[in-house]
């Protein structure tokens, strides 16, 4: 990529670990491509490009974190002109068990998880042991963030637990037959979520 020294560049930042959301700084333009940036608390991966990648942008818009509200500088998925929408690579019509308080989990497609979320053998083992992998989960419709766990059963199936019922199903009023979509952001390690369709439930 040929870049002139005086050409302003958009700078996209991606964390090496998604759990540090909200602490990174945003630098919108860089005049000299030789400049280096380092945050003493975080290791940031900096990517220079004339056109910003629409994967994830950090701003100062207020965001609701499950259980609290903050107007400080938080991480908020957005995009230039608000035109970017994730590609919902996983879609599902919720089953009865997905919405069951007793089971308290969302059953996921095993190949989708292995091809998108699980990046190595260490993560696969972590999903089986130690209570699962911590996942940053962002509701694209309602713009709120919460933490879930990705676990692997002995059968090899993958499920989302912790906050799935209270933080997602009950909060969004989800029922059997509703269609949801998921998109895994590999760079920032965030799971985007949206309700795509609502099943018409008969009035009782």
pLDDT in tens, the chain (204 residues): 554 544 444 444 433 333 334 333 333 333 333 344 434 443 333 333 333 333 443 333 334 444 443 333 344 454 434 567 899 999 999 999 999 999 999 999 999 999 999 888 877 888 888 788 899 999 999 999 999 999 999 888 999 999 999 999 999 999 999 999 999 999 999 999 999 999 886 665
Residue 116 φ then ψ, to 5° = -120, -45
Q: Which single residue is written with the structure tokens 């608390």?
A: 41
pLDDT, residue 128, reads 80
CB 164 within 8 A of CB 150: no
CATH number attached to the domain at 90-197: 2.40.330.10
Residue 101 φ then ψ, to 5° = -60, -35
pLDDT, residue 203, reads 64
What HEC string does the chain produce?
A: CCCCCCCCEEEEEEECCHHHCCCCCCCCCECCCCCCCCCCCCCEEEEEECCCCCCCCCCCCCEEECCEEECCCCCCCCCHHHCCCCCCCEEEECCCHHHCCCCCCEEECHHHHHHHCCCCHHHHHHHHCCCCEEEEEEECCCCEEEEEEEEECCCCCEEEECCHHHHHHHHHCCCCCCEEEEEEECCCCEEEEEEEECCCCCCC
pLDDT, residue 83, reads 61
pLDDT, residue 2, reads 52
Strand pairing category for 68-70 and 63-65: antiparallel
- Sort 169 into a burial class: Cβ within 10 Å, 0-12 / 13-18 / 19+: buried
17: number of Cβ within 10 Å: 10
The SS3 call for residue 91 is strand
pLDDT, residue 204, reads 56
pLDDT, residue 18, reads 39
Residue ranges of the domains in the chain?
Answer: 1-83, 90-197
pLDDT, residue 129, reads 80
pLDDT, residue 121, reads 80
Closest CA to 192 of 159, 162, 158, 168: 168
pLDDT, residue 167, reads 94
Q: What is the rounded CA–CA span in Å between residue 1 and residue 165?
A: 47
The reply to whether the predicted model has a pTM over 0.85 is no
């Amino acid at each position: 990529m040929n870049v002139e020294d005086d050409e302003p560049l958009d700078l996209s930042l991606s964390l090496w670990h998604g759990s540090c959301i909200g602490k990174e700084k945003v630098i919108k333009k860089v005049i000299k491509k030789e400049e280096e940036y380092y945050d003493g608390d975080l290791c940031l991966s900096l990517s220079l490009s004339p056109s910003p990648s629409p994967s994830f942008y950090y701003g100062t818009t207020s965001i609701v974190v499950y259980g609290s509200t903050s107007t400080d500088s938080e991480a908020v998925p957005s995009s230039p002109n608000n035109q970017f929408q994730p590609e919902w690579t996983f879609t599902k019509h919720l089953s009865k068990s997905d919405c069951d308080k007793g089971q308290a989990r969302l059953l996921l497609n095993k190949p989708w998880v292995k091809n998108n979320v699980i990046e190595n053998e260490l993560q696969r083992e972590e999903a089986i042991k130690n209570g699962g992998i911590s996942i940053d989960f962002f509701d694209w419709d309602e713009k709120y963030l919460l933490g879930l766990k990705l676990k692997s059963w002995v059968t090899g199936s993958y499920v989302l637990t912790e906050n799935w019922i209270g933080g997602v199903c009950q909060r969004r009023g989800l029922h059997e037959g509703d269609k949801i979509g998921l998109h895994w952001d590999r760079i920032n390690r965030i799971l985007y979520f949206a309700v795509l369709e609502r099943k018409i439930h008969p009035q009782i």
